[in-house]
């Protein structure tokens, strides 16, 4: 059984196949939210953020292939286990039709901020926002005035550049594109993150083409 498919109503680890089902439902007493670590540290180094991002991407890719959209990802949903495993919680209220409400508006995608609901690309936007928060210690957008003002900023303003992201800059920019059709796809993000870990340097990333017929052949043009 696919780990993500079996996890509705549960948390899902960053392990796609190996031991995923055994960890679902396991007590989480040895974990802490990423949000707590960011509050404490103020941010993580790009290499550690990359490792965490890869585990989150594995969970999302598995869920999306099973037809599941999370729609409410934030650092508070990302649980850090003492053994290094990353767990994405919040699938308990998630089905194939995710809620339009988000727990933390700062991690809502532009389309969610406009009230059109979430899709797989919305989860990838949230992954970009979490990567941003990991290296900067704050989300791309947040208003002190109100959640509504945060959503307005997300709707109307482009995401700022993360000055501390190092080799993650292009990945974050590619995930935080306003138009979901222009965001980096999961395979492209995975390739970029793996290259960062293997090479330790920024790598050029080609954004997905806007036109659907070009997007469908994008992976054929730039294979991993």
Catalytically active residues, by annotation: 72
Tracing tokens 């926002």 back to the chain, one arrives at 129
Q: What tokens appear for 201 in the block?
A: 């340097």
- Counting every residue written for the chain, the total comes to 224
Q: In what order do the strands lie in the sheet with 31-33?
A: 12-13, 86-88, 78-81, 31-33
Are 172 and 127 spatial neighbours (Cβ–Cβ below 8 Å)?
no
C-alpha to C-alpha distance for 6 and 17, rounded to whole angstroms? 12
Integer-rounded Cα Rg, in Å, for the chain is 16
């Amino acid at each position: 059984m696919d780990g993500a498919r079996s996890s509705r109503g549960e948390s899902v680890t960053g392990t796609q196949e190996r031991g995923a089902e055994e960890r679902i439902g396991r007590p989480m007493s040895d974990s802490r939210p990423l949000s707590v670590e960011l509050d404490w540290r103020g941010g993580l180094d790009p290499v550690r953020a990359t490792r965490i991002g890869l585990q989150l991407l594995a969970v999302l890719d598995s869920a999306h292939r099973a037809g599941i959209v999370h729609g409410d990802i934030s650092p508070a949903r990302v649980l850090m286990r003492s053994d290094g495993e990353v767990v994405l919680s919040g699938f308990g209220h998630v089905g194939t039709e995710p809620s339009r409400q988000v727990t933390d508006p700062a991690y809502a995608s532009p389309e969610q901020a406009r009230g059109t609901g979430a899709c797989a690309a919305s989860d990838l936007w949230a992954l970009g926002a979490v990567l941003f928060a990991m290296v900067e210690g704050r989300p791309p957008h947040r208003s002190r005035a109100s959640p509504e003002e945060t959503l307005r900023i997300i709707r109307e303003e482009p995401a700022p550049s993360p000055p501390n992201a190092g080799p993650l800059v292009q990945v974050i920019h590619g995930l935080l594109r306003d138009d979901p059709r222009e965001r980096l796809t999961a395979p492209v993000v995975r390739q970029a993150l793996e290259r960062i870990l293997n090479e330790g340097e920024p790598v050029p990333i080609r954004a997905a083409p806007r036109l659907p017929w070009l997007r469908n052949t994008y992976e054929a043009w730039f294979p991993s």
